[in-house]
Structure formats: structure tokens, C-alpha cells
Chains A and B, each alone.
Chain A
Amino acid sequence: MAQFEIKRLVPLELFGYDISFTNASLFMVLALVLISGFLIFAMTGRSLVPSRIQSIAESVYEFVAGIVRENLGEEGMRYFPWVFSIFIFILTLNMLGMIPGSFTVTSHIIVTFALAAMVWIVATGIGFARHGLGYLKLFVPHGVPIWLMPLIVPIEIVSYLIRPISLSVRLFANMMAGHTMLKVFASFAVSLPFVAKAFPVLFTAAFTGLEFLVAFLQAFIFTVLTCIYLNDAVNMHH
């Protein structure tokens, strides 16, 4: 569990609050620098026929743009920079966490919860800004018999309120469980005798591959769900 510990590298304080520069802060800043540096460096050529690095940047752009268009339509492209930032930030933090000895920012519930809460607050804000109190109709699905309403409406409300929790716990639990599994199996390799060490080593290697997939998949799922929540707010399709 030592890998999840927060270490204060530079203790700082602001208005009585602890804002120390920790190992988590280091990886957040690293992600910010890597993402910005990569995307800006990749586009220095701005050529019509892209170089390899430029086509990587364009692929990421088109990938997220595809998710936004699919869920929100062309009109939803105004939220594209925000959704893109969420995707690339989570993806980079997950991937940085895959480097042995590094720190996984997204394995901390407070971080994933803050991101999920931001998504939920922004989506809810857009919903009320666009539809006023009509946004509450989201809790009254079409085509449900009236006598079922007392059951359906509370369920809808609870499932809406629980969104930031499910969104954040999904990412946090996946990242933490994967890294813990790796740690446990790697520790078997230390304690098992002789040839038997091969099994946990092989398993750890295979599981590392799976963890890369999970790191991508969780960033993708978080982004898709963000788009789905935004779509509820923008179009009120349920």
C-alpha cells in the first residue's frame, strides 16, 4: 500500500490550508506538461499531410470528437474542449501510473470524486440553464404508467444523485485494485521458492498488459459517461 501514500515534497500553506506540493501534485503537473507539450509540439508542422507525430495528435482529437459527436451531436461540440481535457488528463494519469515506481493519481478517491463531481455539477448546471425547472422532467420517464410513478421517480432521482459516486468509485477502484493485484502477485515472486517463482512472474507480466488496457478503458468509460450525462442535460433524451 506504500505506493498509494501521499508524500509531501514541498510543504506549502495558503490561508491556513495545506497545499503542499506532493508526489500526486508532481504527477499532475507532469501530466499537464506532457499533454500540452506533446499536442503543441506535434502540431508545429501543421502540415496538410501529417507527420507521424501529428497524426497521433489528430487521431486522439478525432477519437474524442467521435465520442462527443456520437453522444451529443454536432451541437455538443461546444463542450468538446472540456470533454477532451477530462479524457486526456485521466488517460495520461492512468498511463503514468503504469510506470514502475511511479504514482497513480487516479487511484485516489478524492481525485476521481472531484472530477466526477465537476462533471455532475457542470451537467446539472447546463440542464437547469437550458430547460429551467423543466429539467426535472428527466426524473419522469415517458411511457411509464402513472401508478408506477411513485416507484420510478424516486429510483430515477437516486440514480441521478448517485452518478458522481458511481463515476468516481469505478475509476478509483479499478486503478487501485489493479495496482494492488500486481503488488500482491509480485510479492509472491519474492517469497515462493525456486522454480515456483516463474508462475507469479509470468502472471504479473500478463496482468500488466491487462492493466494497460484497463488504464485506457477506464479513461474511455469516464469520458463516455461524461458525454451521456451531458446529453441528458442538453437534449433530455432519456
Chain B
Amino acid sequence: MLILTCPYCGVRCDETELAPGGEAHLKRFGPGSSDEEFEDYLFMRANPNGVHFERWRHVYGCGKWFHAARNTVTLEVYGTYSAQVHAPPQEIRDAVSNRVPGWHWKDES
């Protein structure tokens, strides 16, 4: 059972209280972009077996979207943070680096 702490209301939520929203920090492409960029934005996903940044929504709670850093192999949660950022904040990156030696944030945007 996955448990995430909502960074807005501070509630420790069981996953039944949350809705998953897929990969985080995707760069949006729209009208005027190339087909490749649009395809990338809509369909291509990192899908890593390891550290993953993703969006969640606290649907049965405060209703807000937030971000989580999670490991898809061990299900370890490194932390949750605000949805109002384009990349994970330093403390989240540090939390991941502490647990996964050699990991570093790949800025793909």
C-alpha cells in the first residue's frame, strides 16, 4: 500500500485517497510545435525502473495536485512537493541522492 503525504494539507494519504496523474515535469507542447515534440509530450514516457517523479491528486482530501518522488522498483517514497515547480526542489534531489548513489537529475526540458 502506497502512502504519500500531501504537501498542502499535510495528511498522510493511503493511495485509495489519491489519484495518480502520471509522469511529472513534462514540458507542454501545443500548436506551433513539431510533430516530434507533440508526440513526445503526449505519449513518450520515461517509464524508469527506479527513481520516478510523478503527479498525484489528493482527490478525497484537499483536491490539490502535488508531486511525488518515488522508486518504482522498491516503492520507496523519497518525498512529496508542491505542484507549482518545473523541477524537483533541491531537498528532494538530495533525499533521492542519499538513497540512490550516483543518481542525478536529468533536466530534459
Say whether A and B bind each other.
no
Q: Which residues of A are at the interface with B, using a C-beta cutoff of 8 A? A: none
